[in-house]
Copies of this chain bind each other. A is one copy, B any other.
């Protein structure tokens, strides 16, 4: 292996730069040259590539976003797009491709390999933590911390006004962020897509909470929960008559300097991705599991379901009394 390419694709996540840096420096140390692809698969199809050396990634480990830029491209969905991408990689004499992103990006990588034989390694980079095959994804820890910081702030004002705050956090179809934020934020209740419980129950919870002397309440809702925060807030307002405010945290959860856990995870997985290619692996995602590095076929990362931590879900309930 003489040369590999790396790209970031899909929604950006804090820690992607740390992963790029780890790929570049590990490869360089192993005598492999790295080519960076800009703007994900769309950039690949347009030939936006350039060689990356160790100094090009200096002072990036603490930066949010991705220096390679990203795009929510759909060009990988067409056979022509994939053929063009494979041709670009051949033109650049690339022996393998590392894709940092989420399940959409892994689909692109999977088909590129299936159809054109390019060895592809996935690195899980998404704030949603919704990929099977890794304990956590790069960006998840920072997103949780950003959301938690907002919850702490909202609790200040909620407590002062004795209000109920219903806070919607990201996570796509998964409740991981919501669950961690609910436990860490001391929320009264949490709604996640993985549990179909009725929104009606929250009315009783809030009433009981008031009866216990709690003057304010924090309710966390995952964006994937049907109806979202607004639906939950409407149910509370109608059922209790109490002043209820909605806060949708939105895109701030994607940005900011990555926290240490994301930087360390990204460094480890970026390194592991290079070693995987060197070891002849392909079509797998490198993840962290059982304290070490594990490989999972790319298609399993989206086909298999990663459940939320059910013990934590129960714990959230216990601690809200």
A251 at the interface (CB under 8 A from B): yes
A72 to B252, CA, bound (A): 29
Residues from chain B with a CB closer than 8 A to the CB of A54 are 212, 321
User: Contacts A145-B260, A271-B318 hold; do A157 and B25 have CB atoms under 8 A apart?
Assistant: no
Question: Number of A residues whose C-beta is below 8 Å from B?
Answer: 84
A268 nearest CB neighbor, chain B only: B315
Interface residues in A132-172 (C-beta closer than 8 Å to B): 135, 141, 144-146, 148, 150, 152-157, 159-162, 165
- CB atoms of B256 and A259 under 8 A apart: no
- Kindly list chain B residues whose C-beta atoms are within 8 Å of the C-beta of A162: 39, 69, 71
C-alpha gap A163/B169 in the complex (Å): 21
Complex interface: chain B residues within 8 A of A249 (CB): 252
Q: Per-residue CB proximity of A245-288 to B under 8 Å, as 1/0?
A: 10111111011110111011001100100000000000000000
| Nearest-Cβ distance from residue A230 to partner chain B, whole angstroms | 13
Those 4 A-B pairs whose CB atoms lie nearest each other, nearest first: A153-B255, A64-B156, A65-B160, A156-B255
Q: A21-B186, A268-B311 are in contact. List 17 more A-B contacts (CB 8 A).
A: A8-B160, A11-B157, A12-B156, A22-B315, A61-B185, A65-B157, A65-B160, A66-B160, A70-B161, A146-B153, A148-B260, A154-B251, A157-B251, A180-B264, A181-B260, A248-B248, A271-B315
